[in-house]
Amino acid sequence: MAGVNGDRKGKKDDNGLGTAIDFMLSNAKLVLGVGGAAMLGIATLAMKRMYDRAMSAPTSPTKMEKTGKRSWEEPAWMGSSPRVLNHDMKFTVSRSLQSLPTSSHSIEPDGLRRAVGRSAAGRGGSAQSDLLRARMRLSLQERLWDFYRNWVNISAEEQALARKAALDICAELRVFLHAKLPDMPLREMYLSGSLYDDLQVVTADHAQLMVPLVLEKNLWSSIPGEDTIMNVPGFWLVRRENLEYFPRNSSYWDRCMVGGYLSPKSLLEVFDKLVSGSINWPAIGSVLDYIIRPVVPSETLTLEVQYEANRRLYVDFLPLLVMEDGTSLIAKPHRLAAERHENLWRQSFRVGETARLRALDQEDGGCRCTCLKVAKAVCKLDPALNRLNSSQLTNAILLLSQKEGDWTQDALADRFLQLLRALVEHLEAGRLPCALAPKVNLFCELTEQEVDELGYTLYCALSDPEGLLRTAEPHLP
C-alpha cells in the first residue's frame, strides 16, 4: 500500500495507469498467491508495453517513422515500443522475479494439471498414474533432452566435413601468405573455435583461423584498457616503444601503427587487401570443388565456403597477439563507439573458459556443456536473443556453478531454468562479470535497448521455458 500514494513527480502523465499497475503488483501475491502473482507480473508488462506504444504513437499518419523489421514471432504490440524494462519498472521486475519458479517441478501445463485432478476424482489411481506418466513425458526435462538430441547436437560426419573444408582454406592461405609476403613475421596459423571444442550447435557452420603475429619484445608493450582514459576492462592497447632508438619502420608492423599504437583496424585492412583482393578464390574453389567468397560487410575478415549444395562454412580470419604473460589479444573490434575504440585489441578468454567448463563436468559428470549447447541453440535460432553470444552464456554457467553444486544429467531442467533467471538478473543489473576476470563486464557492448529487450524476452520465458524451444524449432533446417 505504501507505493499507491507515492511521489510520481517527473513521470509521464499516464492518467493513473502506473499507480494502478504498482498497486496491483504490490498486492497480487496476497490475493493470487505465488504463481498468480508471477503470471500477473508478465501480463502487466505486456499491457504496459501496449499502453506505452499507444501513448507514443504520432498523431498524424504522415509523421510516422519507419520501424525496423519485426521478428516473425513478435506480436504487433512488440514492434517499435519504447524500452521494455525501463527504469521505473525495474523494481517491479525484481519483485516479480521472486515469485517465478526456479525448479522444473514447479512447471506443468494447466490443462494437464486440471486433467490430473479430474482423473483423480473420477477414475481412480490407475488413470491418475497414466496421466502422471504422460506429464513426465511432457516435462521440461524430457523436452530439453529431446531438443538436444534431435536439433542441437551435430553429427560426427557433418563436423568432419566442415573441419576438412576449414583445413583446406587454412592450407591455401598459409601457402599464399608465405609466397606473397615471406618477410611477414607470423607464427604457424591454426584453426580454432567451437567446431574444434565440440560446442558448436545446430549446424557446423563456423570456424576461426588464428593468425599469430610476432612482435619485437623491446618495441611493443601492452596496456590494459582499465589503465587508459577509456577505462574498458577486457580490451588492451599495444603501444610502440623506444622510437627514439628504433625509429619508425624498425618493426614490420609499424605500417599498421596509428597514433603510436598498433591498430587492429589498420591491420585487418592490410590482410583484407591480401585475402579478399589478391587471392583468386574462384580458381582455388574450382580446384577444391568449393564456392569461396569474402563476406561483405563483416566485423572481421570472413570467408564464406560452400562445400556442399546445402552446407556453408564461415571462416573468420583473426590476427592474434600472445603477450609474454600469456594474455591473448585478437583483432576483433569493439561494437560501440568504433572510432574511439579502433585501437583496442579484444582479450580472448575462450580457451580458459572452455577448459574450466569441461574440467567441472569431468569432475562430477555434469550437464554444463549440454546446458550451454541448448542455450546457444536457442539464442542462435531465436531472433530476439541473437545478441547473446557463447562467451556470455559460458560465463553465466560458470558463475552459476559457483553457487549450485548439483549438475547431474537429471538436473538439466532445473539448471536451465536457473540459467534463464541468472541472465535476467545480470541484464537487470547491466553487468555480467567474466568468471576468469571479474572486472570485465561481458555486457559492455550491449546498448540499453538491447539489454532491456533481452531481459524482457528471458523474463517472459521463465514462465514458459518450453516456449523458447517452440520458437526455435520453426527456424531449424
Could you tell me if residue 68 is inside a domain? no
Of 47, 45, 50, nearest to 93 by C-alpha is: 45
Looking at the domain assignment, is residue 146 inside a domain? Answer: no
Q: Supply the pLDDT for residue 464.
A: 86
Q: Any residues with CB less than 8 A from the CB of 238 and at least 6 apart, and which?
A: 215, 220, 221, 222, 223, 261, 262, 321, 329, 345
pLDDT at res. 26: 55
The CA angle 5-6-8, to the nearest 5 degrees, is 110
Domain membership of residue 428 (yes or no) is yes
Range of the domain at 266: 156-347
Q: Based on the fold, state whether residues 409 and 337 are members of the same structural domain.
A: no
Alpha helices in 278-367 (DSSP H): 281-288, 350-364
Looking at the structure, do residues 162 and 289 belong to the same domain, yes or no? yes
- With a CB cutoff of 8 Å and minimum separation 6, the contacts of 119 are 127, 128, 130, 131
| Cα 195 from Cα 160, distance rounded (Å) | 10
Are 342 and 462 within one domain? no
pLDDT score at 471 = 74
208 and 301 Cβ atoms separated by less than 8 Å: no
Q: Which helix (H) or strand (E) holds 329?
A: strand 328-330
Check residue 321 and give its pLDDT.
Answer: 96
> Same structural domain for residues 431 and 389?
yes
CATH of the domain at 199: 3.30.460.90
Tell me how many domains the chain contains: 2
Residues 171 and 270 in one domain: yes
Same domain, 295 and 432: no
In a domain, 177, yes or no: yes
Using CA atoms, how far residue 322 sits from 319, 331, 348, 392, in Å, is 10, 12, 10, 22
pLDDT reported for residue 17: 57
Q: d(Cα 236, Cα 158) in Å, to the nearest integer?
A: 37
Q: Give the pLDDT of residue 134.
A: 41
- Looking at 332, 347, 362, the residue that finishes a domain is 347
Dihedral pair phi/psi, residue 237, rounded to 5°: -105, 145
Q: For residue 294, what are the β-bridge partners? A: 303
The neighbour count for residue 23, using CB atoms within 10 Å, is 15
Q: Tell me the average confidence (pLDDT) per consecutive run of 10 residues in the chain, 477 residues long.
A: 42 53 56 52 56 49 38 34 46 50 48 44 59 58 92 94 95 92 93 95 95 94 91 94 92 94 93 89 92 85 92 95 92 79 92 96 95 96 93 98 92 94 95 96 93 92 86 62
CATH number at residue 409: 1.10.1410.40
